[in-house]
Structure 1
Amino acid sequence: MDSIQFGRRVHYWRTRRHLSRSEFAALMGKSLRWVEELEGGRRQADPNLSVVRLAALRLGITVDRLLGDPAVLCPGESEIDAVRAVLQRHDVVTGACGDDAEPVSVQVLRRSLVYARTGFQAGHFAQLGTHIPALLVDATRAAGQYRGEDQLEAFGLLSLTLELTEAAAIKWGDTELALVAGHRAVAAAERSEDVVVQASAARHLADAMTHHGQAAAAVAFATAAADRLHAELLQRGPDGLSVLGMLFLKAAMASAAAAEAEDRDPAAHARAAPDLLDEADEHAVRLGGDGDAMWTSFGPTNCALHRVAAHVQLSEGADAVAVAAGIPSPALQGMPRERRAHLLTDRAHGEVQAGLREKAVDTLLEAEALAAEEVVCRPRSKRLVEDLRLLGAGSAEGRLRALADRCGLPG
């Protein structure tokens, strides 16, 4: 088992035992940072046997069980409900943290956010159900109790945490939860007085609106945010260019969705999507290459990934497959696992639309090998697997049945 799989198993059993990272660190005789790196798969290429034995002992399981087949651990209703419950708490809604608890420092808060964001980009969505609630409480308390520059930064970190909540909720298939988190992120971003954070929150809310069936409104919101913040963002270097470009990418995806969902002038929405993608491309050129400022993965490659997704949304499967095939492999390898797996699932959708169903099964298997949760846990991908079962996949039927079993689909 490699370090990433081992870290995920440790995280799974630690949360099953209701141990915080600090408590587990104390049991292991290590620092909190050590546990964060262990669970994130960043400590070593292969887990040291002494570490494996001690972790198993402290977690109350056998070594064989800790190292057992790393079945994909999808988020359950309990994890999603925990996030929803925190968002509904009075102190989190109002920011009125009346207790005497000392807020965590903005440095610690930022480090926890980076850890969770890194997990998301690696395609580990289930663990966010345990990370996000504590992050939301800590960030809300910090924003409510700090003053001056620390308070502004805390509001920015709160907004970014709410953005992560929105992104995770989309992966979990809970668009209502995503919409609530997206609206809160925009409100916190305004309190931060940081235009980069404001633009970042706006692109996440536009994404939530699109997935919640409000695509036309999402186009208007994203483009209004881009118009309002454009001049200031151009002065903020890679961060500003990246979030500005992402606003146009999300507006393009919303336009493509509106073309399929809106009865009023769908052709106009369809025509607008490539124009918005071209606008994003221009900002990617200004940026000068691929990057990951503000966890956007923005650059020419991510623009191409969104172009594939837009073609799929517009039921232009052959075009989607062609664009995907034209993305340079070295550039794609530089993308986070989540982005690469997302592209593969989009390509699989395009292949189904183009009648290439056997190929679509192999593409989904490739995505599963890269970031399993993107395929076997995400409702969107599971629906595609079910569609393939209904349509038939020729010589890939056996592989498809096995994939459907891993997705938990009824036989």
Structure 2
Amino acid sequence: MDSRRIGRNVAYWRERRRLTQTAFGALMGKSKRWVQDLESGARQSDPRLSVLEDAACVLSVGLAELLAEAPAAELDETEMDLIRATLQRHDVITGMPADSAEPLDAETLRRRVFYGWQRFQSSAFASLGRLVPELLTDATRAAARYDGDDQLTAYRSLSMALQLTEALAIKAGAPDLASLAGHRAVIAAERSGDPVVMASAARHLADAMTADGQPHAAAEFAVTAADRLGGDLARRGPAGLSVLGMLYLKAAMAQATAAGLDDRRAVSAARAVPGLLDEAGEHAVRLDGNETNHVFTAFGPTNVELYRVAAHVKLYEGAAGVAVAQAVTAEARAALPRERRAHLLTDLAHAHMQAGSREQAVDALLDAEREAEEEVRRRPRTHQLVEDLRLLGAGTAEGRLRALAERCGLPG
């Protein structure tokens, strides 16, 4: 065993778990000096397996993570549990912080939320495991302690932090957590009095409702929000048009999901999808054809096409989805945030599989992995696609698919 590499991995996970060397040493029944030697690789040339097993237990990781060539950069279950626990705390639920700590100033809080969204759009999800609980705590405290304009600003930051929590939960395949965060984000947005933030929160809640098995309600909620806020949003310029367009995109995805349900509304849901996508496209045109990222929407003509691909996949129209995806130019794709680029490629992989082009599906997944590892290796939705491809067979791409499955941590 490489003691230096193992030491680096221990240090990495200790810092991710927000443990000092002293605290980690205490949990291990050792001194700070012992931890320093372990992390530097100076303790022994071949660390005992029992020591590493104890360290893995304290750090809530698998032993394989401490022995790996490089530590995993993905958000893990322990961090998602911390986010869930933060949302369930009395002070965060009631908005009444129990301590007397001074809140962050409004501008610092805004910048920290902005940074969190930047990390999300870069698909750097692991870094959010520590940041999101802090944002929820800091924003709750600021909203409770400030008044006047500063309080309204704090509520905007709180809503955006909750929306970030919702988006992260969707990625992690935790729709119940996403729905909880989404509902609270809408309440905080309403208290902010800002229609742009209200619409942003509404589109995220619609996304969460869809993921949580309520697509009909999600579509109705998104369209109602668009009708209610549309006038105000149109007067807010590009930011308003961006969140307004996103409401129609989320409504389209909700209807496409509802079309797959076995109920009497499925046919009408499928028929509604093209019109909602076209409505979003009209708002994108009003942005003069520019790709924007106002309120972290990445909204513009290209993102509308990405949603067309996703909708075709939901409707099991794989060939149509492939055609739309392949019409998106490399230049247009490059203008999108990394998370969006990887999402397009995973949707393209789904579309290829539906169209019977399973080798091309594997290649699209590998392209997505190169764009953003976490978007492929950690998402439950992508894991299911890999499993489906393994079951169906991928022809000459079998070897590449098998290697990808191993990187995703899927059983052989």
Which TM-score bucket, shorter chain as reference?
A: 0.7 to 0.9
Residues 1:401 and 1:291: Cα distance change in structure 2 (over 3 Å): same
**Residue 75 of structure 1, CA deviation:** 2.3
The residue number in structure 2 matching 1:368 is 369
Trace 1:125-140 onto structure 2 (pairs within 5 A). 125-140=125-140
2:398 aligned with 1:394, yes or no? no
Q: 1 CA distance for matches of 2:38 and 2:287?
A: 47
2:10 and 2:39 in contact (8 A); partners too? no
Report the 3-state secondary structure (helix = DSSP H, G, I; strand = E; otherwise coil) of the residue aligned with 2:100.
coil
Deviates more, 1:150-159 or 1:262-271: 262-271
Residues 1:11 and 1:225: Cα distance change in structure 2 (over 3 Å): farther
1:182 and 1:204 in contact (8 A); partners too? yes
Residue type of the partner of 2:372? Answer: A
The residue number in structure 1 matching 2:347 is 346
The residue number in structure 2 matching 1:222 is 222
**Residue 18 of structure 1, CA deviation:** 2.5
The residue number in structure 2 matching 1:303 is 304
The residue number in structure 2 matching 1:381 is 382
The residue number in structure 1 matching 2:29 is none
2:259 aligned with 1:259, yes or no? yes
Q: 2 CA distance for matches of 1:74 and 1:128?
A: 10
1:72 and 1:373 in contact (8 A); partners too? no
Percent sequence identity is: 58
1:252 and 1:273 in contact (8 A); partners too? yes
Residues 1:155 and 1:19: Cα distance change in structure 2 (over 3 Å): farther
**Residue 74 of structure 1, CA deviation:** 2.6
The residue number in structure 1 matching 2:291 is 290
**Residue 258 of structure 1, CA deviation:** 0.5
**Residue 71 of structure 1, CA deviation:** 5.1
The residue number in structure 2 matching 1:104 is 104
Report the 3-state secondary structure (helix = DSSP H, G, I; strand = E; otherwise coil) of the residue aligned with 2:97.
coil
Residues 1:267 and 1:196: Cα distance change in structure 2 (over 3 Å): same
Trace 1:8-407 onto structure 2 (pairs within 5 A). 14-16=15-17, 18=19, 60-61=39-40, 69-70=69-70, 72-288=72-288, 289-407=290-408
**Residue 73 of structure 1, CA deviation:** 2.7
Deviates more, 1:126-135 or 1:210-219: 126-135
Residues 1:171 and 1:202: Cα distance change in structure 2 (over 3 Å): same
Q: 2 CA distance for matches of 1:104 and 1:59?
A: 37
**Residue 17 of structure 1, CA deviation:** 5.6
Residues 1:400 and 1:17: Cα distance change in structure 2 (over 3 Å): same
What RMSD over aligned residues (CA atoms) do the two structures have, in Å? 2.2
**Residue 107 of structure 1, CA deviation:** 1.2
Q: 2 CA distance for matches of 1:59 and 1:156?
A: 44
Residues 1:320 and 1:148: Cα distance change in structure 2 (over 3 Å): same
**Residue 60 of structure 1, CA deviation:** 4.0
The residue number in structure 2 matching 1:30 is none
**Residue 15 of structure 1, CA deviation:** 1.9
Q: 1 CA distance for matches of 2:323 and 2:153?
A: 43
Q: 2 CA distance for matches of 1:13 and 1:290?
A: 40
**Residue 124 of structure 1, CA deviation:** 1.5
Cα shift readout 1:27-54 (whole Å, capped 9, x = no counterpart): xxxxxxxxxxxxxxxxxxxxxxxxxxxx
Cα shift readout 1:169-196 (whole Å, capped 9, x = no counterpart): 0000000000000000000000000000
Residues 1:59 and 1:135: Cα distance change in structure 2 (over 3 Å): farther
Q: 1 CA distance for matches of 2:176 and 2:40?
A: 38
Residue type of the partner of 1:206? Answer: A
Cα shift readout 1:5-25 (whole Å, capped 9, x = no counterpart): xxx9997663246259xxxxx
**Residue 96 of structure 1, CA deviation:** 1.0
Residues 1:19 and 1:164: Cα distance change in structure 2 (over 3 Å): farther
The TM-score with structure 2 as length reference comes to 0.85
The residue number in structure 1 matching 2:6 is none
2:11 and 2:39 in contact (8 A); partners too? no
The TM-score with structure 1 as length reference comes to 0.85
Residue type of the partner of 2:238? Answer: P
1:223 and 1:251 in contact (8 A); partners too? yes
Deviates more, 1:109-118 or 1:227-236: 109-118
Residue type of the partner of 1:195? Answer: P
Q: 1 CA distance for matches of 2:166 and 2:319?
A: 31
Residue type of the partner of 1:80? Answer: M
Cα shift readout 1:76-126 (whole Å, capped 9, x = no counterpart): 221111001010111100101132110011111111112111111011122
Q: 1 CA distance for matches of 2:20 and 2:159?
A: 27
Deviates more, 1:310-319 or 1:99-108: 99-108
Gaps of at least 5 residues in structure 2 are 1-8, 22-35, 43-64
Residues 1:97 and 1:354: Cα distance change in structure 2 (over 3 Å): same
1:166 and 1:204 in contact (8 A); partners too? yes
Residues 1:72 and 1:321: Cα distance change in structure 2 (over 3 Å): farther
Residues 1:345 and 1:237: Cα distance change in structure 2 (over 3 Å): same
Q: 2 CA distance for matches of 1:286 and 1:58?
A: 61
Larger radius of gyration: 2
1:72 and 1:372 in contact (8 A); partners too? no
Residue type of the partner of 2:294? Answer: A
2:12 and 2:71 in contact (8 A); partners too? no
